[in-house]
Amino acid sequence: MALTPGSVPDSVPESAPKRSRLPAVDRVLAWPGLADSLAAQGRALVLQAVRAELAARRAGGESPADAALLAGITARVAALAQPHLRRVFNLTGTVLHTNLGRAPLPAQALAAIAEVALGAANLEYDLVAGQRGDRDDAVEGLLCGLTGGAAATVVNNTAAALMLVLATLAGRRGRREVIVSRGELIEIGGAFRLPDIMRAAGCTLREVGTTNRTHLQDHAQAIGARTAMLLKVHTSNFRIEGFSAAADEAELGALCRQHGLPFVIDLGSGALIDLARLGLPHEPTPAEALAAGADLVLFSGDKLLGGPQAGIVVGRADLVAQLKQNPFKRALRCDKLTLAALEAVLRLYGDPDRLVAQLPTLRLLARPGAEIAALAQRLAPLLAGALGALAQVDVWPVMSQIGSGAMPVGRLPSHALRLTPPGAKRASGRALDALAARLRALPVPVIGRIADGALLLDLRCLEDESGFAALFAGPAAAAP
Ligand SMILES: *Cc1c(COP(=O)(O)O)cnc(C)c1O
């Protein structure tokens, strides 16, 4: 039965009127019914499960039969033995979902990780010279080749890259002011708000222009003796429509050169190829930003690039050298697993003809709608059979999104399995939540999204059809 909840009550009633009669811990541990658990999971974990189960029963004033106690303990053992971090099916319709780990990696990246993970690697060792090297060497040449930058460095993520750039170029005594348009003072989710990051990096924010319109003149007038740099942030996760204006990047670049100031662009997603080639809306590339006059460009490894979590900085060699010398670089650096994966992904870009087929992020974004529809048609009867009375299943046209701040408006036509629980509209909110919880409790959790009175499973990101089908292969699971 694929859909049994198998969950254990976490809380117990507040009042415990009756006194429980429960066996001692040592006696329970000696039960033959726990022998398999002990052999598979070890004593410490089973002991934890026994104590937790007994405590819960005691708090509830229960005196359960041994069989019921054993069932409760076994369920707890299974829950405790489950790794916290697990694979899930991302059927939310958001391809680069930050909460679900963003970009899926290609096989080449997994092989590269495995190659260096098991033992020693030349992470900071120059094999030709036989002496200490720089860990950026694994990717710097590739990044420069793909973006036209003169130098590159990589840190943990783009938030870290921005911290490093601000602290290095604008964290000094005297020149601390960073000029940013009011239309770009963004929050990118979680605790990442541009003004906060500036403060943390020790810079002073100099806002210019207005929310909807900022002109070259606004930037020019703000430049003074304390100006350290000019920052442009790609407003990736929202869009100001209508009466809006922003200064041209090339003009900003020229203005900065005139004043001898670094011009930094935080691109966020930063696609390495022209997405229009895949029939998607164009997203600015690091190469374009550098060509327009940026001195440094920042972008993420795990967004449209399709690689591991990383924050990439490309641009002027003297500025990148300053970043590398900052002690923060040491604190924010990537490990060999990340660099191995990033190198493998960047190498795929060297073969543009096969790139989309080989790189999951681009493959999923470019996936033909007809292929997704056909997949939905194949899976709908299977799910309908497995869910029985729990929900009606049909195929429903939906829009996927790219996610992680890229193109909030541009959306991708897709197909979902629409799961609609029976019953009155009034009850449907709770019924939907319960259904979503059931799918999350499957051996490989299935994460959909609730919209328009249904649970939608957008199949754009489902490539493991047989693995998904196996979850629902059992008999109908209509039991509560
Ligand atoms: C996503 C994003 C960031 C943060 O990138 P992480 O790699 O998640 O740290 C910074 N700036 C912009 C414009 C972004 O879109």
Is 227 close to ligand 1, i.e. is its CB under 6 Å away? no
Tokens of 209: 């222009």
Distance CA 252, CA 262 (A): 10
pLDDT, tens only, 150-193: 999 999 999 999 999 999 999 877 789 999 999 888 777 666 78
Residue 477 pLDDT exceeds 60: no
Q: What's the chain's length in residues?
A: 480
Is 159 close to ligand 1, i.e. is its CB under 6 Å away? yes
Distance CA 257, CA 251 (A): 10
Distance CA 108, CA 358 (A): 9
Give the residue-averaged pLDDT of 110-139.
97
Q: How far is the CA of 193 from the centre of ligand 1 (A)?
A: 10
Question: 427: pLDDT confidence band, cut at 50, 70 and 90?
Answer: low
Spell out the CATH class of 89-98+363-471.
Answer: alpha beta
pLDDT of residue 12: 53
Q: What 3-state class would DSSP assign to 97?
A: coil
Q: How far is the CA of 39 from the centre of ligand 1 (A)?
A: 46
Distance CA 277, CA 147 (A): 17
Atom of ligand 1 nearest to the CA of 162: 10
Question: 245: pLDDT confidence band, cut at 50, 70 and 90?
Answer: confident
Distance CA 323, CA 288 (A): 22
This prediction has a pTM of 0.90
Angle, CA 235 vertex, CA 152 and CA 414 arms, to 5° = 100
The strand pair at 177-181 and 227-233 is best described as: parallel
Protein residue closest via CA to atom 13 of ligand 1: 268
**274 or 235: which leads in pLDDT:** 274
Residue 207 phi/psi, 5-degree rounding, is -75, 140
Question: 428: pLDDT confidence band, cut at 50, 70 and 90?
Answer: low
pLDDT, tens only, 85-105: 999 999 999 999 999 999 999
Enumerate the β-bridge partners of residue 227. 177
The strand pair at 177-181 and 204-208 is best described as: parallel
From 164, 192, 407, give the residue whose CB has the most ligand 1 atoms within 8 Å, as the site to mutate: 192
Q: Is the dihedral of CA 128, 134, 137, 138 positive or negative?
A: positive
Q: Where are the domains of the chain?
A: 19-81, 89-98+363-471, 107-358
Protein residue closest via CA to atom 14 of ligand 1: 268
| Element spanning 208, H or E | strand 204-208
Q: How far is the CA of 105 from the centre of ligand 1 (A)?
A: 19
pLDDT, tens only, 429-467: 889 999 999 999 999 999 999 998 999 999 999 999 999
Q: Which of 135, 197, 36 is nearest to 337 (CA)?
A: 135
Distance CA 332, CA 334 (A): 7
Q: How far is the CA of 341 from the centre of ligand 1 (A)?
A: 19
Tokens of 81: 């033995």
Distance CA 51, CA 106 (A): 43
pLDDT of residue 247: 81
Give the residue-averaged pLDDT of 243-269.
92
Q: How far is the CA of 160 from the centre of ligand 1 (A)?
A: 9
User: Helix %, strand %, coil % for the chain, to 5?
Assistant: 45, 15, 40
DSSP 274-329: -GGGGTS-----HHHHHHTT-SEEEEESSSTT-SSS-EEEEE-HHHHHHHHHSHHH
Residue 216's Cα: distance from chain center in Å?
Answer: 35
Architecture in CATH for domain 107-358: 3-Layer(aba) Sandwich (3.40)
